[in-house]
């Protein structure tokens, strides 16, 4: 019988409801507890899907931190949150793990509203050091003495924000503990007995006392001798441990230590807790992503994100897509354009597979650039290439492009540089929830002068818009599309066709209600129109194609010839509807009694659920669009969605 499966035995974990219970255990019991946490996590995620590999890699580290530190009084801040599942198991959420990332269940990330053990919400990377420093300074100002521990992964260290925070922390005397979870061996030399011994030695009180005494003595000498002695000590530690970079940023570096060996972890964590360091400390823990579960250890992505899977074999129960994914349609279109234009290049920020850029890279490896978790750099990097005549495609999720907003304006738009922004995951994203929803790009790009914004209603339109973007050479443009499958009903050409900039199209003509859709909500608009027709209201449905420049002639036509005018977009307040209503107001088209209704995301954060449920909650499904139109017509609103397929 495999050690995995529903018949698992977790006798020790069953006695641990929270970290206070964990701290009553003897250190000799912690390896068993770690294995039971690992088993529990594997079994739970096998039923729900979610993030697996990162959590498996920090089981021992999580157990050790909660055993040594007095959480929640001591603040434990996780970066990104992908690795927080063991933390949730140990912090009163074990029984809820079977609901993770599901409607009404717990989040796949840390979130303040969920638990007192989550002092800071995190689903975007590289925030934990900044947040931890904020907590540390607030503690100092309040005269408190609790510890603050920030955990950050080596991948998150590719983002500039982490270094900004370290530079700031290194210049201050606030006591902050940063644990670098290095699960890719990207920084550390091999970990062994010597490095473990050195880590214990330099973090221990005797060493710290001698170091402080030596500092006091050396300070009596002339400045040149004092400086030389300080450099010698730093060099000695940096030579053996590899911590020179962090020392230069002002951190006292300890490591590397084996992040799976309690005999290495516990002494170092205790020393750091008890020694009262003057300033920030960085503990370099080397871990293995997917640790303890062979299918994850052997997989190329270490089972970073998984669907439901068989725990014995590790085989994931992935349902084959019924239609091409939008991201892959984009890749097909871009590859076709790049074959005709050697100036086309592609950039992604650590999301090659999620954006389809991995397919482009297979064809054009020398024209593909993954800049890591560094969206700000990535956008300006593309601006530089555009300055020299290349045609860069900055391919970034909507939620992550938010992190480079200043660069979009300052480095691209003001200079009228033809950077093409490919905005994947625009709209609802399901289980990843509010932190990853592409809700705001229409609003935050729509206000930028000179920005062309396109949104395809189906996969053919996406191909055409990619072809259109390739010929725009004097200003920036953006194409936004959702996560998931396309319609699957359209035979795609080898290459897209160029569209007329700023021109929409009428799909169906009517006389009472006009619906102007932007993006893939068009299909539900047609379903709503069918329902309106069944109630005696003839409906025009149009596809805007462009949010900017807006098809003013089409907007005027719809406004003048209909009693009710709806705009529909899978985006927040302040987006496409704002651009349309601004035109209507300025041209006096409201003055004769036009009933205008925007259908967009409500002004709330919509929690994780299935995309269909999220759209229903937002009123962006066919029933919601129908209800909005009926309300504008002064008719009774139907609340049930069962009558619309």
94 annotated active-site = no
* 3-state helix/strand/coil string of 372-384: CCCHHHHHHHHHH
Pick the catalytic residue from 289, 367, 521, 628. Answer: 289
CB contact at 8 A, 615 and 428? yes
Does 523 count as an annotated binding residue? no
Nearest to 456, CA basis, from 521, 400, 398 = 521
Identify whether the C-beta of residue 631 lies closer than 8 Å to the C-beta of residue 533.
Answer: no
What is the C-alpha separation between 367 and 137, in angstroms, rounded?
Answer: 45
375 is in an annotated binding site: yes
367 is catalytic: no
Give pairs for 135-139: CB < 8 Å, separation 24+: 135/75, 135/77, 136/169, 136/174, 136/175, 136/176, 137/172, 137/174, 139/174
Q: Which of 375, 459, 569, 570 is catalytic?
A: 375
- Find out whether 154 is annotated in a ligand binding site: yes
Radius of gyration of the chain (CA): 28
What are the b/e assignments for 297-322, b being 16+ CB within 10 Å?
bebeebbebbeebebeebeeeeeeee
The phi, psi pair for 423, rounded to 5°, reads -110, 95
**Three-class secondary structure of residue 523 per DSSP:** helix
Nearest Cα residue to 105 out of 483, 570, 430: 430
66 is in an annotated binding site: no
- Give the 3-state DSSP-derived string for 461-513, with helices as H, strands as E and coil as C: HHHHHHHHHHHCCCCCEEEECCCCECCCCCCCCCCCCCCCCCCCEEEECCCCE
Nearest alpha-carbon partner for 427 in 495, 348, 482: 482
d(CA 286, CA 259): 5
Helix 59-68 with 30-48: angle, nearest 10 deg: 130
Active-site residue, selected from the candidate residues 88, 403, 420, 425: 403
Determine if residue 155 is labeled as part of a ligand binding site: yes
Question: CB burial class (10 A; 0-12, 13-18, 19+) of residue 114?
Answer: middle
235 annotated as a binding-site residue: no
Long-range contacts of 236-245 (CB under 8 A, 24+ apart): 237/198, 237/202, 240/194, 240/195, 240/198, 241/195, 241/198, 241/199, 241/202, 241/284, 242/187, 242/188, 242/189, 242/284, 243/282, 243/284
Residue with tokens 């033809």: 418
Q: Is 183 annotated as a binding residue?
A: yes
Could you give the maximum distance between any two Cα atoms of the chain, in Å?
95
* Contact indicator for 12, 29 with CB cutoff of 8 Å: yes
Burial of 508 (0-12, 13-18, 19+ CB in 10 A): middle
Q: Is the peptide bond before 256 cis (omega within 30 degrees of 0)?
A: yes
Q: Could you give the count of Cα atoms lying within 13 Å of 82 in the half-sphere of its Cβ?
A: 23
Query: Could you give the angle at which helices 262-274 and 59-68 cross, rounded to 10 degrees?
Result: 40
d(CA 643, CA 265): 59
The verdict on whether residue 529 carries a ligand-binding annotation is no
Residue 113 has a CB neighbour count (10 Å cut-off) of 8
Cis check: omega of the bond before 227, within 30 degrees of 0: no
| 375 a catalytic residue | yes
Annotated binding-site residue? 153: no
Q: Are strands 505-508 and 539-543 parallel, antiparallel or unpaired?
A: antiparallel
**Residue 162, SS3?**
helix
Q: Which residues are annotated as a binding site for Mg(2+)?
A: 154, 183
Active site residues: 289, 375, 403
Q: Which residues are annotated as a binding site?
A: 82, 123-125, 154-156, 183, 293, 375
Q: Which residues are annotated as a binding site for thiamine diphosphate?
A: 82, 123-125, 155-156, 183, 293, 375
């Amino acid at each position: 019988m495999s050690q995995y499966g529903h018949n698992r035995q977790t006798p020790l974990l069953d006695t641990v409801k929270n970290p206070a219970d964990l701290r009553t255990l003897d250190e000799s019991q912690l390896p068993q507890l770690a294995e039971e946490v690992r088993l529990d996590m594997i079994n739970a995620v096998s039923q729900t899907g979610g993030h697996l590999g990162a959590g498996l890699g920090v089981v021992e580290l999580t157990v050790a931190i909660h055993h040594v530190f007095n959480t929640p009084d001591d603040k434990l801040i996780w970066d990104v949150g992908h690795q927080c599942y063991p933390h949730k198991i140990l912090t009163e959420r074990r029984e809820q793990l079977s609901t993770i990332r599901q409607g009404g269940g717990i989040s796949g990330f840390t979130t303040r509203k969920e638990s007192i053990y989550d002092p800071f919400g995190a689903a975007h990377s590289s925030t934990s050091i900044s947040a931890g420093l904020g907590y540390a300074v607030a503690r100092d100002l309040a005269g408190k003495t609790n510890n603050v521990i920030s955990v950050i992964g080596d991948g998150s260290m590719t983002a500039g924000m982490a270094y900004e925070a370290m530079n700031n922390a290194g210049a201050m005397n606030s006591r902050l503990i940063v644990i670098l979870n290095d699960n890719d061996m990207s920084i550390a030399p091999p970990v062994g007995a010597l490095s473990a011994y050195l880590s214990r030695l330099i973090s221990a009180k005797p060493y710290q006392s001698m170091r402080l005494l030596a500092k006091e003595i050396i300070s009596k000498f002339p400045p040149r001798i004092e400086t030389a002695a300080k450099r010698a000590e730093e060099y000695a530690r940096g030579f053996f441990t590899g911590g020179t970079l962090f020392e230069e940023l002002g951190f006292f570096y300890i490591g590397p230590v084996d992040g799976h060996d309690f005999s290495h972890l516990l002494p170092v964590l205790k020393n750091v807790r008890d020694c009262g360091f003057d300033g920030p400390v960085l503990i370099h823990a080397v871990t293995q992503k997917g640790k303890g579960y062979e299918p994850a250890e052997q997989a190329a992505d270490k089972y970073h994100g998984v669907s439901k899977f068989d725990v014995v074999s590790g085989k994931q129960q992935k349902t084959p897509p019924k239609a091409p994914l939008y991201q892959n349609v984009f890749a097909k279109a871009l590859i076709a354009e790049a074959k005709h234009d050697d100036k086309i290049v592609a950039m992604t920020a650590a999301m090659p597979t999620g954006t389809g850029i991995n397919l482009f890279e297979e064809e054009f490896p020398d024209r593909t650039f993954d800049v890591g978790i560094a969206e700000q750099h990535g956008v300006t990097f593309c601006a530089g290439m555009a300055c020299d005549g290349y045609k860069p495609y900055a391919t970034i999720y909507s939620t992550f492009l938010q992190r480079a907003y200043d660069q979009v304006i300052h480095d691209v738009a003001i200079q009228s540089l033809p950077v093409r922004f490919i905005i994947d995951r625009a709209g609802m994203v399901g289980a990843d929830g509010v932190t990853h929803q592409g809700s705001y790009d229409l609003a935050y790009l729509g206000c930028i002068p000179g920005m062309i914004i396109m949104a395809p209603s189906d996969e053919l339109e996406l191909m055409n818009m990619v072809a259109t973007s390739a010929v725009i050479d004097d200003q920036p443009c953006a194409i936004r599309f959702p996560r998931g499958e396309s319609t699957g009903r359209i035979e795609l050409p080898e290459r897209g066709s160029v569209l007329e900039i700023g021109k929409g199209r009428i799909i169906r003509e009517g006389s009472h209600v006009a619906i102007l859709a932007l993006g893939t909500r068009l299909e539900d608009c047609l379903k709503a129109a069918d329902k309106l027709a069944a109630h005696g209201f003839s409906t025009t449905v149009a596809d805007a194609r462009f949010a900017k420049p807006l098809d003013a002639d089409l907007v005027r036509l719809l406004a003048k010839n209909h009693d009710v005018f709806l705009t529909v977009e899978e985006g927040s307040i302040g987006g496409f509807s704002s651009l349309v209503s601004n035109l209507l107001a300025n041209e006096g088209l409201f003055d004769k009694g036009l009933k205008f209704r925007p259908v967009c995301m409500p002004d709330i954060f919509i929690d994780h659920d299935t995309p269909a449920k999220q759209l229903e909650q937002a009123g962006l499904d066919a029933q919601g669009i129908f209800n909005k139109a009926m309300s504008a017509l002064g008719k009774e609103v139907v609340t049930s969605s069962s009558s619309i397929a």
